[in-house]
């Protein structure tokens, strides 16, 4: 299939494109490079042997989206483009409505005109807000606790309204994607300071930051720090591809993507420290606005609908992040190492 990946140069997008291309699909990257690095394109080439098609454009540009979909005869769209920082969304909720919701509206209009019949959408655990019970199942109440989660929920609602036999939709609620491609050639290189935990830890380990701020030590969890369901990005990508294929038989898929296990901030720091053999200096700081104490997914529905379960362990996640970070201390600004393939 020809698949347009919006946000295809980003963290999840780049791993998605590599796996799509390896599975024999052709990937068209649509990305504005506002939060991604242009060097990722060459890394994808090194990994796949193919120069991917790249369209630099804004997700709100309906005309360009339409043109891209028809010129490249796209059969499906994996929609990953969007903003994802909880603190930024609290500071500027309009921006999140504009890009995450407005951008998806433009994309869906373009999809309709270009007669594309499948879309896979990257939603988030943040649509649930504070879970009433754990693990979080898909039928739990949807009460986002920040504007980022609210913007993703608005998109979910829109997609559900228009899903039909002719236009098939998969909504995937990502828990906490971490990890990197096993090659160490691509990984997470945050721009615009989204502040996610794993890249902060790896940047402390490599010496780019002096310490890690741990936001809150008095949550009602086993060690007082927040608990999340960390999922290896390569497991996530496998689930996305399964979902795209499952739309052959399903009209609407709506599933959580997580491992079913929660780890605290301190447990993650410990695991990473063991993997890299370095001390990770930490400092307790006040709670971060919009954060919740504990969240991990039930994986039952994803198993049932997609035949998918996460396979990689927390140690695998730490090992792959450390390989990526140590081979690329400055992220995609780093010269590709001779230890890397390609
Ligand atoms: C949130 C969303 C998630 C979304 C992600 C995108 C919820 C429940 N989840 O993830 O769906 O994909 O944003 O950004 O809203 N932390 C520190 N120090 C740091 C950084 C983080 O202590 O320097 C803590 C945070 O307070 C949090 C945990 O680590 O409790 C994980 O943080 P992060 O990686 O940002 O993910 P979430 O906030 O869980």
Confidence of residue 337 (pLDDT cuts 50, 70, 90): low
Pocket test for ligand 1, best of 126, 171, 210 (most atoms within 8 A of CB): 126
**Cβ–Cβ < 8 Å for 39, 47:** no
Confidence of residue 1 (pLDDT cuts 50, 70, 90): very high
- 292 domain-assigned: yes
Ligand 1 atom nearest to 145, measured from its CA: 15
- 128 domain-assigned: yes
Ligand 1 atom nearest to 292, measured from its CA: 8
- 340 domain-assigned: no
How much is the average pLDDT of 185-201? 90
- 342 domain-assigned: no
- In the structure encoding, which two tokens stand for residue 275, read together? 């993997």
- 127 domain-assigned: yes
277 has pLDDT over 90? yes
CATH number of the domain at 17, please.
Answer: 3.40.50.720
Question: Which residues form the pocket of ligand 1, taking CB atoms under 6 Å from any ligand atom?
Answer: 84-86, 124-126, 149, 174, 176, 194-197, 200, 212-215, 226, 228, 265, 288, 291-292, 295
Active site residues: 148
Q: What is the pLDDT of residues 197-248, one digit of tens each?
A: 999 999 999 999 999 999 999 999 999 999 999 999 999 999 999 999 999 9
How much is the average pLDDT of 14-18? 98
Ligand 1 atom nearest to 228, measured from its CA: 39
- The mean of the pLDDT values for the chain is 96
Q: Is 88 left (phi over 0), alpha (psi -120 to 50) or beta?
A: alpha
- 168 domain-assigned: yes
CA distance 119 to 116: 8
The boundaries of the domain holding residue 101 are: 2-333
How much is the average pLDDT of 16-26? 96
- Of the chain, the percentage scoring pLDDT greater than 90 comes to 94
Q: What is the pLDDT of residues 286-302, one digit of tens each?
A: 999 878 999 999 999 99
- Residue 300: CB atoms within 10 A of its CB come to 15
Q: pLDDT value at position 342?
A: 45
Q: How far apart are the first and last CA of the chain?
A: 25
- 310 domain-assigned: yes
Number of domains within the chain: 1
Q: pLDDT value at position 194?
A: 62
- 339 domain-assigned: no
- In the structure encoding, which two tokens stand for residue 32, read together? 């504005």
**Cβ–Cβ < 8 Å for 266, 195:** no
How much is the average pLDDT of 51-56? 97
């Amino acid at each position: 299939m020809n698949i347009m990946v919006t946000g295809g140069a980003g963290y999840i997008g780049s791993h998605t494109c590599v796996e799509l291309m390896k599975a024999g699909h052709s990937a068209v990257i649509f990305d504005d490079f506002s939060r991604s690095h242009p060097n990722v394109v060459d890394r994808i080439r090194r990994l796949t042997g193919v120069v991917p098609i790249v369209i630099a454009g804004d997700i709100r540009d309906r005309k360009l989206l339409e043109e891209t979909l028809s010129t490249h005869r796209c059969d499906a769209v994996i929609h990953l483009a969007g903003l994802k920082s909880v603190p930024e969304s609290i500071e500027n909720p309009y921006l999140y409505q504009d890009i995450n919701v407005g951008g998806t509206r433009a994309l869906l209009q373009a999809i309709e005109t270009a007669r594309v019949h499948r879309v896979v959408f990257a939603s988030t655990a943040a649509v649930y807000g504070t879970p009433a019970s754990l693990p979080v199942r898909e039928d739990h109440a949807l009460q986002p606790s920040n504007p980022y989660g609210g913007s993703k929920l608005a998109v979910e609602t829109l997609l559900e309204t228009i899903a039909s036999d002719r236009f098939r939709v998969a909504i995937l609620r990502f828990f906490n994607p971490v990890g990197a491609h096993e090659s160490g050639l691509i990984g997470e290189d945050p721009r615009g300071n989204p502040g996610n935990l794993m890249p902060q830890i790896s940047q402390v380990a490599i010496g780019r930051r002096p310490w890690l701020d741990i936001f809150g030590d008095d949550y009602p969890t086993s060690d007082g720090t927040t608990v999340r369901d960390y999922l290896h990005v390569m497991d996530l990508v496998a689930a996305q591809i399964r979902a795209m294929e499952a739309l052959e038989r399903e009209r609407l898929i709506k599933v959580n993507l997580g491992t079913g296990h929660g780890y605290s901030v301190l447990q993650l720091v410990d695991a990473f420290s063991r993997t890299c053999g370095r001390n990770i200096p930490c400092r307790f700081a006040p709670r971060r606005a919009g954060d919740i104490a504990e969240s991990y997914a039930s994986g039952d529905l994803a198993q049932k609908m997609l035949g998918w379960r996460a396979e990689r362990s927390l140690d695998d996640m730490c090992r792959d992040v450390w390989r990526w970070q140590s081979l690329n201390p400055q992220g995609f600004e780093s010269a590709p190492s001779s230890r890397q393939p390609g």
